[in-house]
Structure 1
Amino acid sequence: MNWEQATSNYINFLKIERGLSKNSIDNYQRDVKKLTAFIKNMNTTLSPLYITQENIQQFIYETSKNINPRSQARLISGLRSFFDFLIFEDYRKDNPTDLIESPNITRKLPDTLEKEEIDDLIAAIDLSHPQGERNKTIIETIYSCGLRVSELINLQLSDLFFDDGYIRILGKGNKYRFVPIHITTIQRLNFYIKEIRSNITPIKDDEDIVFLNRRGKRLTRQMIFIILKELATKINLKKSIGPHTLRHSFATYLLKHGADLRVIQQLLGHESITTTEIYVHLDNSYLKEVVELHHPRSDFNLNEEDK
């Protein structure tokens, strides 16, 4: 089996068996293609069935000169998945990446915004601009529903169940979840759809998409980033923000106001509770406040004679 055949089979496996999103599949495919190019540049016909740990180590060493530790760790993880697939299909008996150590990565906690900062961002939107009402609705929807940017730009009119108070979200792994939507966000979406979007003619295949540009095409991820960056500059916000900042802020706000971590996990569409814990990072002062308030001995006071 050559590299092209192995890669093609692997991609089909990721699509059909694992049901991964296009972005995830593209990333896995990119990892294998990098290794393929490296092997071919060695002027060897070595197939993926016979590549060794030494080959992988050499590849990682050469590649690490041009990428940061986080990207290197992700690359190793992607290759490990590829060779696990070959073992699963009985093409190989071992995984040459098993003994390859990933670099230590210090997880950088993402910035979050306070409710007042969200309000400032929204207030900075020029509603006299043709896209002002749309942009305001976008920020309200991401923040109040905790959406990923990919979930927002692919949100469809047929996913809106306002009478029931929910919207349906197609998340990672092509899995649906229903997210409660607040009445103020429903009102905002209704206004945008009836007063703004109704004046736009959607292009083919985007007829059901909620958020459109003036040409009737769904927005890109980059466009959402640009909208937020421009607003942040406008209010002189020093934090580095993007669509995920609003998602982090949504989750953190819920936890600080008493929401259960498992509930937040469901709302965000996380498979692992560990991922949710990262999103709701809390400072030490808040943790101390929770312990003092809810500790089983919090109602125990020492008498003067016991001190």
Structure 2
Amino acid sequence: MAYLASLRARDCSPNTERVYAGRIALYLNFCLMRRLEWTTPGFLGLAALQQWLAPLSSRSSTVRPGPPRFRSRSTANAVMTAVAEFLRFGHAHGWVPASTTGLLSQPKLLRFNPPGYDTGESDRRREVLAAAFRFRINEPGYEDLSDEQIRRMIALTARARDRFLITLLACTGLRIGEALGLHRADMHLLASSRAAGCGIEGPHVHVRRRTDNPNRALVKSRFSRMVPVTADLVALYTDYQYERDRVAQAADSEMVFVNLFRPPLGGAMTYPNTKEMFDRLARTTGHACRPHMLRHSAATRWLRDGIDRDVVQRLLGHASPLSMEHYRHVNDAEARAAVEHVESLKERP
């Protein structure tokens, strides 16, 4: 499909391509069921698609056994966003008329300005275009894991490679694509890396964007960065190397994370491999376990410990400080401490 090829040309990750393919397939199947022309679904067709998407009703139980599944409104919004992008792509290539793309957005007057947004002289830019087909939801923020949950995840992981991967994500805040894209030459884990031509002192890893990784793992940011690591993480990497050395096929691979327990032995680990591992771990621990939750946990822990936001932004590889807004979670203990602090001020003479 030309649209998926365009995602590939934009260096989107295989995971992004897979997700978007599934969302576009939902739209095309809906058009087929309702006998709609996908290029001209009309206002009523798009509105019906939005309502059909959320919630995913008990019709799914007729296909597969078990309790009915439900699709959240946020997921439905994500599908509608993908459909809108797909239709705009079709319009750019002459397949979709302007009458269709004109339905996808509508003027909206900003009541509150996003941080850093300049509305211009006399608030001329206060009116923006917003998605026309979108459920109103309360943004819950990102999910994170407690330190105890992360320690339990590591303790319940039998393989040295997987223990190292979990700890790497939790300690450095790397995205899963960044971790799977690491090369062995990126691991500078000695006190000094001058012998490798690197003047940075202390153990660290280099996160570099490459477009030719055999597993198609991709670093989101176009700028390379360095992330320091701890002595404990270096020890876990040593354990993993000992495990890896027992698989002869892994010796020639330049990738850090490789298959050691299933074919192709020595091949670079892929997104599906990693998802399967985290799914197994979720069933064992009894709570959700996803790679990005470890990134959120690292960011939340740093901010809660008082690390400067600019430092956290650099560690995470965010280009914009606005990307930091979702990471700060306030827990119950912090809320109580704030109230008790106010109460203590009243008692002072």
TM-score category, normalised to shorter length = 0.7 to 0.9
- Given candidates 89, 102, 110, the residue that maps to 1:95 is 102
Aligned residue runs from structure 1 range 33-72, under 5 A:
33-43=25-35, 46=37, 48=39, 50-64=40-54, 66=56, 67-72=71-76
2:291 matches 1:259: no
Aligned residues of 1:224 and 1:243 also touching (Cα < 8 A):
no
RMSD: 3.7
2:175 matched residue in structure 1 = 148
Aligned residues of 1:14 and 1:25 also touching (Cα < 8 A):
yes
- Shifted more, 75-84 versus 152-161: the winner is 152-161
Deviation at 1:125? 5.0
- Given candidates 82, 86, 91, the residue that maps to 1:82 is 86
1:77 counterpart letter in structure 2 = T
1:20 matched residue in structure 2 = 12
* Whole-Å separation in 2 of the counterparts to 1:109 and 1:169: 28
Aligned residue runs from structure 1 range 107-186, under 5 A:
107-125=139-157, 131=159, 133-162=160-189, 163=193, 164=200, 165-170=204-209, 171=218, 173=220, 175=222, 177-184=224-231, 185-186=233-234
1:79 counterpart letter in structure 2 = V
Deviation at 1:225? 0.8
- TM-score, structure 1 as length reference: 0.72
Cα 1:172–1:137, aligned 2, differ >3 Å: closer, same or farther? closer
* Whole-Å separation in 2 of the counterparts to 1:181 and 1:124: 26
2:215 matched residue in structure 1 = none
Deviation at 1:176? 5.1
* Whole-Å separation in 2 of the counterparts to 1:111 and 1:42: 37
* Whole-Å separation in 1 of the counterparts to 2:221 and 2:11: 6
2:296 matches 1:248: yes
Other structure's SS at 1:282 match: coil
Aligned residues of 2:46 and 2:133 also touching (Cα < 8 A):
no
Aligned residues of 2:247 and 2:266 also touching (Cα < 8 A):
yes
2:115 matched residue in structure 1 = none
Deviation at 1:80? 1.6
Aligned residues of 2:207 and 2:225 also touching (Cα < 8 A):
yes
Alpha-carbon deviations, 1:193-231, whole Å to 9, x = none?
2x2212213379x92222232243444123431463366
Cα 1:291–1:274, aligned 2, differ >3 Å: closer, same or farther? farther
Alpha-carbon deviations, 1:161-199, whole Å to 9, x = none?
332423325555474532413241234324422x22122
Aligned residues: 278
**5+ residue gaps, structure 1:** 1-6, 234-238, 294-299
Cα 1:71–1:155, aligned 2, differ >3 Å: closer, same or farther? same
- Shifted more, 258-267 versus 81-90: the winner is 81-90
* Whole-Å separation in 1 of the counterparts to 2:234 and 2:348: 54
* Whole-Å separation in 2 of the counterparts to 1:30 and 1:19: 18
- TM-score, structure 2 as length reference: 0.65
* Whole-Å separation in 1 of the counterparts to 2:338 and 2:311: 18
2:310 matches 1:286: no
Other structure's SS at 1:105 match: coil
2:173 counterpart letter in structure 1 = G
* Whole-Å separation in 2 of the counterparts to 1:301 and 1:43: 68
Other structure's SS at 1:279 match: coil
**5+ residue gaps, structure 2:** 57-70, 107-131, 194-199, 210-217
2:191 matches 1:201: no
Deviation at 1:22? 1.9
* Whole-Å separation in 2 of the counterparts to 1:266 and 1:88: 36
Cα 1:271–1:33, aligned 2, differ >3 Å: closer, same or farther? farther
Other structure's SS at 1:85 match: helix
Aligned residues of 1:79 and 1:97 also touching (Cα < 8 A):
no
Deviation at 1:254? 0.8
